[in-house]
Structure formats: structure tokens, C-alpha cells
Amino acid sequence: MGALSRPEEVVALVKLRVAAGQIKRQIPPEEHWGFAYSMLQKVSRSFALVIQQLGPELRNAVSARSLRPPSSSSSHTNSIFITRVCIFYLVLRALDTVEDDTSIPTEVKVPILQDFYRHIYNRDWHYSCGTNNYKVLMDKFHHVSTAFLELGEGYQKAIEEITRRMGAGMAKFICKEVETVDDYEEYCHYVAGLVGYGLSRLFYAAGTEDLAPDSLSNSMGLFLQKTNIIRDYLEDINEIPKSRMFWPREIWSKYADKLEDFKYVENSEKAVQCLNDLVTNALIHAEDCLQYMSALKDHAIFCFCAIPQIMAIGTCALCYNNVNVFRGVVKMRRGLTARVIDETNSMSDVYTAFYEFSLLLESKIDDNDPNAALTRKRVDSIKQTCRSSGLLKSRGYHLDKSPYKHILLMIVLLVVAIIFGVLYTK
């Protein structure tokens, strides 16, 4: 009943479902590319959802196209872009799978992370680790390597360089904990800021964008990474056989003796205060992200970048002052996610989303929270940036309660959405 109680999300959900079905029918025929595209949807539903919005000419990217000389054709340029980003993502996803597997002994894991940038050139290399779809990715990594080797040399070198630096950074933090806020910034830079660097370079190399400043590219990655680290507290702390701890001791030690103490009900008040401290820390990147996105020219790249950032600010608003972060999975509902994907087409949409989610976060600030004043300051700064753009609309995003109460309205809109979905497939 979640989606049904919010009729404004039903049409977006239906459109998303139809688009997902179309993508499955457009997986390239070559075995290695077919594996890459199908695996992308399995290991990152959110990333695949973003790609769904790029149009059929962008999604239907095959190796034959990637081998042709550069063309002035927009569809060809965008198809190559998707091909490169898909492989870039899967290479880093595989690297991350090695880092995440806490069953791998340190003396084995560290050399793999440090040498991973070499392994991507070896069609025969694979290393069995991870679980479920991540294990399949690692067991059949030769498909990813085969696809990688069909990219142009310049793109191979760009992916290699980011993989090398990220693997070295991950290896460093396998051997040390995240103690200070500076450590936290450094770790997030290695695992996400470098992704921002890499994508900005791919956009520039494709001739579609100017080269963004490293500081802004870094913030694009850090905002997403910090949001994920905040949201995934319980999953990381309960990891078997060994907990993963990414919250910086410099922050959490103000509220508890041990990081795992936050998952116990009796420590809820301090846990939420620490949570709010970390959300406030993440918000410092929001204005850099808005500046980065406002400079993008290509519509496909804009959507690709903007949707995850809106999801991040929405997730920050959802997690803020929310004790459920320490009780289970907290994430934006699928209907709201579908709306964000469906409605994000311009900077006006981005400013509106950032503004409305900032308002929602602001409404949850408790004046008794130790960081309330700083949180308000950062939220006010984001709101002012959005207002000064002169592009605000009204979307009416809601994180929890539905503004609709009439069952009849829900049923009517659901029927309309289903009819629309049928027409959409024809």
C-alpha cells in the first residue's frame, strides 16, 4: 500500500518498471558485453536505474560502436560514454568487493588491492570472493577484462590510473582505522572522490564537457560516499566475520566508548546525536555538488550525475535524527525514487529537490541537539543557493506521510497509471 497511498508516485513507478523491461531486451549479444550490462543491473540497482533515464540510444551501447572512430553524432558519442562508464563502474565494483570481503586475510587482500589495476589487463585473471552477484562478478571477471580491452587506449589508461590510486588507498585503510576527520576525508577521497575525478576525465575526453575542478569532482564523490557510510551503519557494524568501521573515531568518541554501542537501545539518544553530527559533516559538500552540476552541458551526463546527488540529499534528510538507522535498513522508498528519476531533467529540478529535501531535514532539527546551530547554518546555506538560482519550482516531496487520504483517488490514479503503462509499451 506504500505506493498506492501516494498517487503522485504511481505513474513514475509504472514508467520505471516499463523502462526496466525494455533494458533487459536491449542487452548486447556479445557474451562479454552481455555479461557486463546484465551484471550492472544485478550489483547496482540504483546505478542501473540512472542509466534507464539516458534514452534507448544511450543504453544500447555495444562493443562494435565503441571500436569505431569518434563521430559527431550525439547518439554515438553518448553510446560510447555509457560503454566506458559501465566498464569503469564494474572494475571499481570488483575492487570494492575485494575490500568489502572481511574473510580475506589482510596479507592476501592488500596485494590484490595494490595490483588490481594490472589485473584488469589480464583476460584470465579472477579471484573468488564476495557473495551472491558479487561473487559471480569476481568469478567471471574475465568478461569485464575482455570488454575493458576493447576500449580505446586513452580510456583504458584513465580507468587504470583511478583503479591504481583507489586500490592503494583501500590497502592503506585495511591496515589502519579511520581515526580522525582527516582520515575520514582521505578514505572517502580514495573510494569515491577518485571516482569523481575519473568520471570528470571521461566526460572531458568524450568532448562533451569542460574539465571540472578536482575539488568539485571530489565533493561529488564524497557527498555520495558519506551518505552511504551514514546509512549503512548497522550493516557494516554487523559484518561477519569482522565489523567494518568507517565512522571516524574523532566524531563518534564524543558520544560513546565503542562504535558498536550505538546499536543498543539504551544508547539511542547519543547514537542519534552522533548520526546528526555526521549528516551535518556530509552537508558541507552539497553546494560544491550544485556548482558542479550547474556547469554540465550534455543532458544525458547531467541526468547521470544529478539523480544520485538528489538521492543523497534525500537520504540525508531521511536519516537525520532517525533512530531507525540503528535498527535496520533506512532508504528512500521506491515510489519517491521513481519520482526523482522521472522528474530530474534540468538544474531547476535539482535546485528544487535540494531545497525541498533541505526543508524536510530542517523540520527535524532538535534545538537540543549539540550540533543544531551548525546543521541549521549548513541547511540555510544550501537553501539560499537554491533560492538565488531563481529556478525553484514546487514538487511536494514527502519522506514519510502521504498528503492523500481518499482511497477512491488512489484507485483512479492507479488505473490511469496502468493504462498509461500499457500504452507506453506499444
Question: So which residues are the catalytic ones?
Answer: 187, 231, 244, 304
Bond prior to 403 in cis (omega within 30° of 0): no
Q: Which residues contact 150 (CB under 8 A, 6 or more apart)?
A: 63, 66, 67
Sign of the torsion angle spanned by Cα atoms 245, 179, 327, 285 = negative
The cell numbers describing 304, all together, are 547521470
Integer Cα distance of 246 and 186 in angstroms: 11
The cell numbers describing 370, all together, are 549539540
DSSP summary character for residue 284 = G
Integer Cα distance of 134 and 78 in angstroms: 27
Integer Cα distance of 276 and 270 in angstroms: 10
Integer Cα distance of 290 and 229 in angstroms: 21
Q: Which residues contact 182 (CB under 8 A, 6 or more apart)?
A: none
Integer Cα distance of 160 and 142 in angstroms: 16
Sign of the torsion angle spanned by Cα atoms 318, 324, 327, 333 = negative
Quick one: which of 278, 296, 294 has its CA closest to 378? Answer: 278
- Long-range CB contacts (< 8 A, 24+ apart) of 99-104? 99/170, 99/174, 99/191, 100/130, 100/134, 100/244, 101/129, 101/130, 102/239, 102/240, 102/241, 102/242, 102/243, 102/244, 103/129, 103/241, 104/129
Quick one: which of 230, 247, 273, 243 has its CA closest to 181? Answer: 247
Phi, psi of 159 (to 5 degrees): -70, -40
Q: Map grid coordinates 481518499 to a residue.
A: 406
| Other CB atoms within 10 A of residue 405 CB | 8
Q: By three-state DSSP, how is residue 405 classified?
A: coil
